[in-house]
Every structure is written in C-alpha cells, then in structure tokens.
A and B are shown apart, each in its own frame.
Chain A
C-alpha cells in the first residue's frame, strides 16, 4: 500500500463522486423508484443497468487491446470473472428478497445517504449486520474444519 501511485486514491475518489452523482441523478438512490421498477410501474431503471454495463463493458473490452496494464497500478487489464457455484444462486436469491423488500442495494444505499436520506441508515446498519453474520459463520466453519490449535 505504501508504494501506491500518488494519483491512485484521488482517482478512486473521483470515480466514486461520478458514481454517486449518477446514482443520485438517475433516482436509483431512492428506494421507491427501485420498488416502482420491480413492480413494473416505471421501467426506467433498465436504462441505468444497461447504460452502466455497456459503458463499463466498452472500457473492459477496449483497454486490454490498447495497453497491457493499468498506468497507476501496473495491474493487467482483465475481465471480472467469478467462479460459478450454487452460492451464486443462493446468495443471489437472498439478495433478491432483500432488494425486493427494501428497494435498496449497497451502492444506492451509500448514495441515498448523500442525497440527505438519513432514514437509509437503517438499511446500511442492516447490510453491515448481514455481512458480519455470514462472515462470522463462515469463519467459525472454516476455523473448525482446519482444526487449528486455538491460541487466542
């Protein structure tokens, strides 16, 4: 972390600002708009998803053809590929119930705080609690399966 390029953090901050502005401008930071989309009252959110993935996809497609690695990190340009297993279906389903119940997802929840929606802190607290619960459970399972001697 110490040998990071001096522009790394400023670039991440700038990217975050554009990301958050986009979520605010599109109204995706409003749970009501997401719920209206899921109940087919306003399908505009399709344009957020497709617009976003097409623009990002263009960058993912073109960058590896123009340069071998990223200027600030030297990381090779690659695609975001995750292995498929049943966790994708289980986790996706649990996520779907939560998203459909509340109208919030992580990025939109952070942006919602930015537009002044302090009520969204309920959702952010919930997300941290959920992320902690699954992480703690996985840690206990992993620790007991490796049967490492307890030294703490």
Chain B
C-alpha cells in the first residue's frame, strides 16, 4: 500500500527486511506491557531496573527511595524474563528450529553455533557500547524514562511529557548516529 503511494521500489529502499518481523515484535512488546498492566496496574519500563537494582548495593539516598526498594525484586524478575524470552527466540527462530513467513533472518553481526544453539554477536565496537551505555544510563534516569517507559508506556498513555521525551531522544539519536557514521566509525 505504501509502495503504491510512493512508487515501486520505495518500500524496498526503506524496508529492505520487510516489516513483518518488526510489526510482530512490536505487537509482542506491547502485549507484554499490556499483560503486566492488566494484571497489576503497573506500567513496566525497562530502565528503572538500573536504579532499583543499585538499591541492593548502594546506601545512597537516591537509590533507597521506597519506589525503588519496594519494586526491586519484581524488576529483577522482569529483566530475567526479558533475557529468557530473548533466549527462547534464540533457540527457536534464530537457530532455525522454527520458521515463519513473518520472520526474516538478518545479515547483521555474527552468528555462531554453541551447543546446537545459534547465538548472535554484535560487530559494534566495545567502546561505543560502553560509552553509549554510560550516556544511556545517565540520560534515562534524568529524563524519567527510556524507549520502553516513554516510548511504549508513555506514548501509549498519550503523555505529553513522554511524547516530548521520545521526540527529543529520537532527534538527538538520529543526529548522533549520522555524525558517527559520517566520521567513518564503523561498525
């Protein structure tokens, strides 16, 4: 439909891997958020886990707030679930055990066989991951949310704060990624 509007070839140019895997994944992420919300009334974001987990090891007043201490155990469970769910994907679709017309394997990174399971490893350099991680860790906690807290829960709540947050980090990230690429940093 989009291709018909914009002319043939446009969809292939902007969506070289199709849209099915993205749409299915997005619906599942939304469904997961909905499941936890319907059962508990909680908007589960991914980045509060960082500070709530630090409350186990740091006595700093910031981390010892009730909102972190009372939620830290289930946030560990949520994060272990995310890791486990991604591992289930790895042993099924990533390893080729399951196939679907809705799933397009990718060409990024490096695939390795480990004990019958296909694991995936990034080619992005460790210094980028580490430095980027530090900035993400600072930014998400000062900015009151990340791609799941603001992006999924906040946008889903039609929160003006979250919409502004998402537009802000999206624009800055686009500028940053293009600058880094223009400077020849790859991968």
Contacts and interface: CB of A to CB of B under 8 A. Distances in A.
A42 B133 contact: no
Contacts of B119: 115-117
Given A43-B15, A56-B30, 10 more contacts: A32-B109, A32-B122, A82-B159, A92-B143, A92-B172, A95-B140, A115-B86, A126-B130, A131-B141, A139-B62
Closest 9 CB pairs of A and B: A16-B81, A91-B143, A26-B25, A102-B132, A126-B133, A130-B137, A116-B119, A51-B26, A114-B86
A95 B43 CA distance: 20
Interface in A40-73: 40-60, 63, 69-73
A57 B181 CA distance: 34
Contacts of A109: 133
Contacts of B41: 69-70, 73-78
Interface of A: 1, 7-9, 11-33, 35-36, 38-60, 63, 69-84, 87-120, 122-136, 138-139, 142-143, 152
Contact of B151 (A41, A52, A58, A131): A52
Contacts, number: 553
A99 B54 contact: no
Contact of B33 (A24, A27, A59, A82): A59
A136 B57 CA distance: 12
A32 to B, nearest CB: 4
Contact of A92 (B21, B36, B148, B169): B169
A97 B134 contact: no
B109 A81 contact: no
A38 B63 CA distance: 33
Contacts of A71: 39
A135 B157 contact: no
A61 to B, nearest CB: 8
Contacts of A38: 173-174, 176-178
